[in-house]
Structure 1
Amino acid sequence: MRQIYYTIQILLRGRGSNFIKLMSLTLGLLIGILLFSQIAYELSYENFYKDPECVALMRCRRVKDGIPDKEYDYSTFRPAAADLWEALPDLIESASLSVNFYQPEFYIDDKKLDDVQPMFADTLFFHTIGLDVLRGDPKELGTPLYAFLSQSKARELFGDEEPVGKTLSMGKMMDITVRGIYQDVPGNTAYRHNIVISLPTLEEHIFGRGTWRSNDIYNVFFRLKTPEDVEAMNGRIQKAVERYTETKEGTDVMEFSVLPLPDIYLSTPDTVRRLVILGVLGFSIFFVSIMNYVLAAVASFSRRAKAVGVHKCCGADGTHVLGMFMWETGLLVLTSIVACLMLMCLFREGIEDLLHVRLVELFTWNNLWVPGLTVLLLFFVAGILPGRMFATIPVTQIFRRYTDSKRSWKRGLLFVQFIGVAFILGMLITTIWQYHDLMTRSIGFRTERLAIGQYHMEDPQGVEDAIRRQPYVESVARNSNSLIAHYSTTGLTDTQGNFLCPLHYQNVTKDFPQIVGMKLVEGSWPEHTGEALIGRKVVETMKWGDKALGQRLPVNAQWVGLDSQPTVVGIVEDVRNMGFFMEQTCTAFILSDSRNFAYNVRLKEPLDENLARLNAFVKEAYPKAALEFTTYTDIQRQGYSDVYRFRNTVWVTSVCIFFIVLMGLVGYVSDETQRRSKEIAIRKVNGAEAPSILGLLSMDILKVAVGAVIVGTGFAWYVSGAWLEQFADSVLPSPVWFVLLALLLLALIVLLVIFKAWRIANENPVQSIKSE
């Protein structure tokens, strides 16, 4: 109890320095806990299923000339589930099909529902994947227009009412009847859903039934009898597939394998890379906050040395002194924990949006070891490191002035902090530049004021004409699908029949390319049905050179509503339909009035007001249609939401670490000017001017800062390159930006030193000498 009393008295006497320590610990602990918990949360993907290590997902990739593609395709063909179960019954307990890329809107009594995440699946889905069915018979998923709701979604939609038997409208095209309830799926899954709809609903009303050679849109899951059967299945799956379909296309081979469900999320290098960078960010701010705490403690040595000497004269040994400092650190850490909890409560919505996960899911019982370990690490490092220094202060200190300034420690700690802030700010430059580049880089057409809405209408031309007549509409054109999406595909092959790559194609109406702002490179715009535009990538892939015009595209003529294959009449700049996460695709746009149910509308200014007017008009004119418009800019933002959140994470981390380093530097300069006040006074008496004093102090800091800033910005350059590897055609910002960052950071450090030392540099030296 006596140690606690002494500790409280010390904390009360050092309120200024304790505030700096508390702020450093709170910011470092808050960001560190959030980032480390986010990493642990994502590392636990898919672990909530029943025996998840026994569940495997089928995947495939193309092997061209003996060299396999780097990326796997995790969607494959429908018959794979039943056929492989039949071929490998000694390994497979059950197999299931699901589709989750189709995300229609849902309504109840014309009210659009928020956050409905559908999954289309067959009758064995729940058993195979390992989810408990709470009510209902899963066999009913074999009936079209039937569905199961998650427990929480059923409660959200229907409250205390009986959900079984209730209906939801899917896209205002068909009514879905609820036939059962299943356990909630948490957020740490790559396959999120809160409603499972019968697979026949999708196959009979939307896309048709897939075969071994068409509609490779299915996720095929297997529940194996033991976890070891994954390896055994991978050794036999290729031959099993070859019993049912041809796996060779010319010299290319489709290679099939399975991957355990818990390994899927981390199977992509981009995910691993992002988590590593998050770990580096979290460690940076966490370590810098600890070093700032230690720096503040070391800076108080000269002031607290006599008190330590008094305690030792009264019988305290080094262990007691260390214990006293541990109590002090413990109370500050406990206070910072309370402050962190308050900040999490106050900014809960912002934090959840930043991390894209609810805090109640992030801090589950299974995940609480992360913040607990973080707090313990902070406590022991921040407590023991300076505590041992205090414990070594000699008892003779009570009789003389303590002269050990621990300058090597102070400079070392400042060096670490400067590295941290330079690194984080360097990452900030990269993320800001990258997001701006993604949102402003040309994607092959003009997105300014361009909105799109999709719905299958009986008279699409009439709808187009009605929209065109509105005074706030500049132009309208139709096509098959959003320009930023996965189009229909067919294979491009060379003259020997070898597969080259997929061709992404869709139908468009006349004048559509001009209205959406495509850029014609060669040839002419399509004027007659059956004429087509292709991107530069097609010409390059097919090696057509200057002979592209007049070529035939290998597209199923019946599917696009033609009597024969379309003819190329023009070449346009490539459209980045799959965004910049993937390489440029081969694209084609075919003039045909078949299947064109996507309405592209170029609005007049002001955009937001006119977009609202357009949506109000179609809702009033077509109340039974789920036709709603959104801008391509918003679609891009949604597609790059992970990049946006990562940028914001770096923003927040940068602000916090800059503030921590700022407080540490202020404390260091204050301590140094106080410690060297007599030296400065003597220099002034001997003729030194204020600028020379300020230059002396600035150079003292720059000796530490220059090397640290170079190391930090260099590390930021390296890590930025790793981050940008996930984006096709992306390059690092110019090195000039990193050089300017380093110079700006050094200038800010010098300005802060001058600001803090200005008073002592201009003070009458007599005042300092008189106090000696």
Structure 2
Amino acid sequence: MFRNYLRFSTRVFLKDKFFASLNILGLALGIAVSILLLLILQNDLTYDQYHEHHQRIYRVGGHLSATGIDIRVARSARELRNVLQDELPEVQAAVRANSWDHTLVKYEPRAGEERAFYEENIVRTDSNYFQGFSHTFLAGNPKTCLVDLNTLVLTESTAKRYFGDEPALDKTLLIDNTSYKVTGVIKDLPSNTHLSFDILLSQLADREWVRGENGQIKSEAFWNPDVYLYVLVPEDYEPQTFYSKFPAIFDKYFKSFGDQVGGKYEPILERLDQIHFHSGLEADEPQGNMAYLYAFSGIGIFIILLACVNYMNLSTAKSVNRAAEIAMKKTLGSGKPALVASFLGESVFLSVIASILALGIAATVIYATSFNDLIGKKLALDFVHNPVLLFGTVGLTVLIGVISGLYPAFYLPAIPTLQALKGAYKNRKSSLVLRKVLITTQFGISIFVVVCTVFMQRQIRYVRNRELGFNKENIVVLPINDTLVQNQIEGIKHEFLQRPTITQATTAYHVLGMNVNGQPVMWAESESGMKQQAFTLMFVGDDYLKTMGLTLVDGRDFQPGLADADHSFLVNEAAAKLMGWGNNAVGKKVKFFHDKDDKQVIGVVKDFNYNSLHNAVEPLLIARGRDNGGFLHLRVRGEDLPETMDYIRQKWSQIDPIHPYEYFFLDQRFNEQYRADEIQYKLVSTLSYICIFISLLGLLGLSAFTAAQRTKEIGIRKVHGASVPHIIYMLYKDVMYLVLLASVLIIPVAWYVVTQWLGNFAYQMPPDYGLFVVVTVFAIAISFLTVAFHSWKTARTNPVDSLKYE
């Protein structure tokens, strides 16, 4: 039986290659997109689940509130680790992790063979890290590898980078001028983990200032979260148990300092496998967005439906051509179940062929393009080790085949036998109505995704080009990695400024759009006296405002040198507004929480976006740093840029020969904040092109079939004087009305979705309702060209040949 179905399906395919090819191509694109989205969904929905105890590991964050401050932070004080282990017997292990990025790591096997790299993904942790977290060891013992001081564990690729094919165990790396012994090598971490590292260092040190004269940890230490803290608890542990016991810990360790600041602290437990999508705490690793996952999944389902709709449309439209065949089968004894099975077999057969083509498309996208780099994942078509992918692909193939053939399978056997044998059968009205509904649905989906794509593109372009309140163009940033360089920075700046193409120079510990964060608690003058308040804080060097193009709206800038380092602040307009200073901010008192002496506001800077435009400008204090560390900022001219950059490289390599030369342009680094938005835009735009293409494939097939069916009618109309444009319009007008209807129905939905997405930005582009008209006109134009592709040839046929048709 199966062999007969297969043979018959093959004959049907070979008999009508054009329409079968359209169906296969549409289904292949739908299945390929489904496979890629399945891999993305699997990657995101299984975050951190590769750890054996992922359901027993909780991260401990905190909700800190006090006068002038209210934050929910993912980190905890490192001193809390031992407290939890001592006070809560159910905590089987507590592990801290502290990121240490952009650090020079060296390996010196022999003189003159130094291998040095800047590492961006180093983590310091505790000796019991592997008691909770699961990793596959290639060398070393997970129970003892981090017990000794100055030991480390490497990932496999990092070990190869430094040691090649040589064994890494017991070799030594120099990190920040300290020697570390390699005691373990593990397999590379998967991309779907929030706690990622290339190098894992032992012995996370305690902070020096935390103990008082009596040796006890100061209460204020617990109010300074600086590490990620994880606890391993028994199976089926209820977080409420932890919360119920914490008030006693608060009273014993937190309360003393909390009373001084009017503070409250409440722990926040987050299970490891739920952090990626359900955290939203400050100071967290980049988070997933379930809304985007729903959006991509929705568009993926749309694409599958579009491919299925094409098959339904073409199958029902061509039912006239197959009416005699169906009638003959019924006359020879084929019952309805057999006919249904036959037509479902056809659609599944085409779906299997499409699936093979889809695997080729998916493999090309994954392995022959930069798709993985674009989305920041490590997708692979590994059917052997990924049963979800294997069964998912097979299931999708069968499901799409069944869905595509379901309506034709029940529609075609219902054709009246007598009419079909007489050649008098025509498509029923219900079939025509359904086909119009399906075409409207196709173009509605296509218009929807195109509208979303255009709005996303315009918003990203808007935030990239919007005035930020400072000039980010043509600023070269060089990290200052050496203390000797830091001590000589004034002379170095003067030397660089002798070059005509380098116009300004300054230093700062913060890079705008990159690391301006943290909100220390300060005391600031208010109408009722000194008020406790949190501000964002920046430390800068001389000429920072001038170099960055910031505008001083009141008061003065810092004087050259360290004259203002100990007693002065600049504030932005948002800070002045927050404190109610109005136009009288200059002269107001501000000081750090523990300082005895007041500092003074000497100037007000016009608000500027020091972080991405997802967020509004927050209150900011700018202080003159006591040293010139951090980053050297050089403003350069746009002309002769290659020569200028070559000069900077040569000069900086002479100034700091110890560290590898590195630099970046501020505008490029600032725009990296929108990388996630750009990835979403590129994915949605690609999916929108696929939606349009599949819709046009179906329209192409229908227009070809319709033109062929109306050949004799066209011949008669031409004999009576109808022109070619008139005939093309006649064949297209029904489609045009359907496209307009689709646009009217879908635009309100698209506007709602776009509005929700724009809510992620504090600064949004002005509304442009004309875009909806443009997209609708585009849909009409492209559908017209598709229909005209076949209609033009038919309309130009000699009427004599047309009247001989059939």
Q: Give the Cα–Cα distance (whole angstroms) in 2 for the partners of residues 367 and 501 of structure 1.
A: 52
Q: Is the 8 A contact 2:506 2:541 kept in 1?
A: yes
- Match for residue 223 of structure 1? 232
1:717 partner amino acid: W
Q: SS in structure 2 opposite 1:264?
A: helix
1:119-158 CA distances to partner (integer Å, 9 max, x unpaired)? 2211122213344665146566465543111345434543
2:539 partner amino acid: N
Q: Give the Cα–Cα distance (whole angstroms) in 2 for the partners of residues 371 and 757 of structure 1.
A: 38
From 354, 371, 386, the equivalent of 2:374 is: 354
Alpha-carbon spacing, 1:192–1:373, altered in 2? closer, same or farther (3 Å): farther
2:96 partner amino acid: L
1:266 paired with 2:277, answer yes
1:724 paired with 2:758, answer yes
- Match for residue 570 of structure 1? 603
From 478, 481, 486, the equivalent of 2:516 is: 486
1:85-484 correspondence to structure 2 within 5 Å: 85-89=85-89, 91-100=90-99, 102-108=101-107, 111-113=115-117, 117-131=121-135, 135-136=140-141, 141=146, 145-155=150-160, 157-170=162-175, 173-200=177-204, 212-213=221-222, 215-246=224-255, 247=258, 253-268=264-279, 271-347=289-365, 348=367, 349-360=369-380, 365=386, 367-368=388-389, 369-396=391-418, 397-404=420-427, 406-457=431-482, 458-460=484-486, 461=489, 462-469=491-498, 472-484=501-513
When normalised by structure 2's length, the TM-score is: 0.86
Q: Is the 8 A contact 2:516 2:538 kept in 1?
A: no
2:345 partner amino acid: W
Query: CA offset at residue 689 of structure 1?
Result: 4.1
Q: Is the 8 A contact 1:144 1:199 kept in 2?
A: yes
- Match for residue 554 of structure 1? 591
Q: Is the 8 A contact 2:541 2:628 kept in 1?
A: no
Q: SS in structure 1 opposite 2:77?
A: coil
From 624, 630, 633, the equivalent of 1:600 is: 633
Q: Is the 8 A contact 1:536 1:571 kept in 2?
A: yes
From 647, 651, 675, the equivalent of 2:681 is: 647
Q: Is the 8 A contact 1:452 1:630 kept in 2?
A: yes
- Match for residue 569 of structure 2? 532
Please identify, of 227-236 and 610-619, the stretch whose mean Cα deviation from structure 2 is larger: 610-619
Query: CA offset at residue 428 of structure 1?
Result: 0.6
- Match for residue 521 of structure 1? 553
Please identify, of 603-612 and 339-348, the stretch whose mean Cα deviation from structure 2 is larger: 603-612
1:629-644 correspondence to structure 2 within 5 Å: 629-644=663-678
Query: CA offset at residue 651 of structure 1?
Result: 1.9
Alpha-carbon spacing, 1:200–1:378, altered in 2? closer, same or farther (3 Å): same
Q: SS in structure 1 opposite 2:590?
A: coil
Q: Is the 8 A contact 2:475 2:634 kept in 1?
A: yes
Alpha-carbon spacing, 1:100–1:567, altered in 2? closer, same or farther (3 Å): same
Query: CA offset at residue 200 of structure 1?
Result: 3.6
2:446 partner amino acid: V
- Match for residue 678 of structure 1? 712
- Match for residue 284 of structure 2? none
Alpha-carbon spacing, 1:228–1:313, altered in 2? closer, same or farther (3 Å): same
Q: Is the 8 A contact 1:45 1:188 kept in 2?
A: yes
Query: CA offset at residue 359 of structure 1?
Result: 2.0
Q: SS in structure 2 opposite 1:180?
A: strand
1:53-72 correspondence to structure 2 within 5 Å: 53-62=55-64, 72=72
Q: Is the 8 A contact 1:98 1:218 kept in 2?
A: yes
Q: Give the Cα–Cα distance (whole angstroms) in 1 for the partners of residues 84 and 198 of structure 2.
A: 28
Instruction: Identify unmatched segments of 5+ residues in structure 2.
Output: 109-113, 210-216, 281-287
1:227 partner amino acid: D
Alpha-carbon spacing, 1:502–1:738, altered in 2? closer, same or farther (3 Å): farther
From 48, 51, 55, the equivalent of 2:50 is: 48
Q: Is the 8 A contact 2:302 2:445 kept in 1?
A: yes
Q: SS in structure 1 opposite 2:617?
A: coil
Query: CA offset at residue 333 of structure 1?
Result: 2.1
1:141-180 CA distances to partner (integer Å, 9 max, x unpaired)? 465543111345434543432212223344x654443222
From 605, 615, 624, the equivalent of 1:591 is: 624
- Match for residue 38 of structure 2? 36
Q: Give the Cα–Cα distance (whole angstroms) in 1 for the partners of residues 616 and 436 of structure 2.
A: 47
Q: Give the Cα–Cα distance (whole angstroms) in 2 for the partners of residues 3 and 680 of structure 1.
A: 38
Q: Give the Cα–Cα distance (whole angstroms) in 2 for the partners of residues 469 and 227 of structure 1.
A: 68
- Match for residue 214 of structure 2? none
1:288-317 CA distances to partner (integer Å, 9 max, x unpaired)? 122122223233222233233333344333
1:581-600 CA distances to partner (integer Å, 9 max, x unpaired)? 44433222222342533111
Please identify, of 525-534 and 540-549, the stretch whose mean Cα deviation from structure 2 is larger: 525-534
From 10, 21, 25, the equivalent of 2:23 is: 21
Q: Give the Cα–Cα distance (whole angstroms) in 1 for the partners of residues 33 and 643 of structure 2.
A: 38
Alpha-carbon spacing, 1:763–1:423, altered in 2? closer, same or farther (3 Å): same
Q: SS in structure 2 opposite 1:482?
A: coil
Alpha-carbon spacing, 1:54–1:743, altered in 2? closer, same or farther (3 Å): same
Q: Give the Cα–Cα distance (whole angstroms) in 1 for the partners of residues 395 and 259 of structure 2.
A: 52
Q: SS in structure 2 opposite 1:33?
A: helix
Query: CA offset at residue 372 of structure 1?
Result: 3.8
1:475 partner amino acid: Q
Alpha-carbon spacing, 1:330–1:249, altered in 2? closer, same or farther (3 Å): farther
Q: Give the Cα–Cα distance (whole angstroms) in 2 for the partners of residues 140 and 72 of structure 1.
A: 34
1:515-542 CA distances to partner (integer Å, 9 max, x unpaired)? 1211223333222423432222111211
Query: CA offset at residue 15 of structure 1?
Result: 1.2
Query: CA offset at residue 557 of structure 1?
Result: 9.1
Alpha-carbon RMSD across the aligned residues, in angstroms, is 3.2
1:743-754 correspondence to structure 2 within 5 Å: 743-754=777-788
Q: Give the Cα–Cα distance (whole angstroms) in 2 for the partners of residues 361 and 284 of structure 1.
A: 23
When normalised by structure 1's length, the TM-score is: 0.90
Q: Is the 8 A contact 2:522 2:532 kept in 1?
A: yes
Instruction: Identify unmatched segments of 5+ residues in structure 1.
Output: none
Q: Is the 8 A contact 2:60 2:230 kept in 1?
A: yes
Q: SS in structure 1 opposite 2:520?
A: strand
1:184-226 CA distances to partner (integer Å, 9 max, x unpaired)? 4311111112321125479689xxx996256422111111123
Query: CA offset at residue 454 of structure 1?
Result: 1.5
Q: Is the 8 A contact 2:311 2:405 kept in 1?
A: no
From 535, 538, 544, the equivalent of 1:503 is: 535
2:441 partner amino acid: V
**Between the two proteins, what is the percent identity of the paired residues?**
19
Q: SS in structure 2 opposite 1:212?
A: helix
1:701 partner amino acid: V
Alpha-carbon spacing, 1:630–1:366, altered in 2? closer, same or farther (3 Å): farther
Q: Give the Cα–Cα distance (whole angstroms) in 2 for the partners of residues 706 and 248 of structure 1.
A: 66
Q: Give the Cα–Cα distance (whole angstroms) in 2 for the partners of residues 507 and 95 of structure 1.
A: 35
Q: SS in structure 1 opposite 2:583?
A: helix
Q: Is the 8 A contact 1:150 1:181 kept in 2?
A: yes
Alpha-carbon spacing, 1:441–1:173, altered in 2? closer, same or farther (3 Å): farther
Q: Is the 8 A contact 1:507 1:596 kept in 2?
A: no
Q: Give the Cα–Cα distance (whole angstroms) in 2 for the partners of residues 141 and 577 of structure 1.
A: 39
Query: CA offset at residue 478 of structure 1?
Result: 0.9
